[in-house]
Amino acid sequence: MTVDVLALLNAAAAEYNVPPALAIAVANQESGGNQYNSEGGVLTSPAGALGVMQLMPATAAGLGVDPTDTAQNVQGGVRYLAQLLNQFNGDQTLALAAYNWGPANVQKNGASNWPAETANYVSSILDSIGATIDGSSPAPSTGSLVALALAGALTLLLVERLTS
């Protein structure tokens, strides 16, 4: 994940009132924080999801963003995450499951009967931010603390650049 992508994630998280660590963790899980593959083309999943936030073309169109543009991809992905958090009353577990499996599937099944991929996806992201599926909060990992410190430092740097 580049400093530029991290700055975009922090700015979008602030704009859409999403915890920055959550937005960063989703981007990291989805794409390693990368917009492009090793050949320089837009990173595309086997299912057709694109870029940093791995937006499906229909989702990106619904959000009015171009998923091949890094800034728009991040803006759209974090805005979509904010919409899902709102839809599921702030429940990060359900919002993450919906980001991965689709909101209709989560509305239908709730917190049960998830595919293994979705369960692993949610668990991995929650672990990286120091949370668990059952809502308890274990002590954050060193990696989580480093990510939070880096996110805070980059936010301060971005604010400083914007106000200079």
**CA separation for the pair 83, 80 (Å, rounded):** 5
Catalytic residue among 30, 39, 117, 160: 30
117 is catalytic: no
**CA separation for the pair 112, 121 (Å, rounded):** 14
Which residue intervals of the chain are DSSP H helices? 3-16, 20-31, 57-63, 70-87, 92-101, 103-109, 116-128, 142-163
Q: How far is CA 69 from the centre of its chain?
A: 16
Which residues have a catalytic role annotated?
30
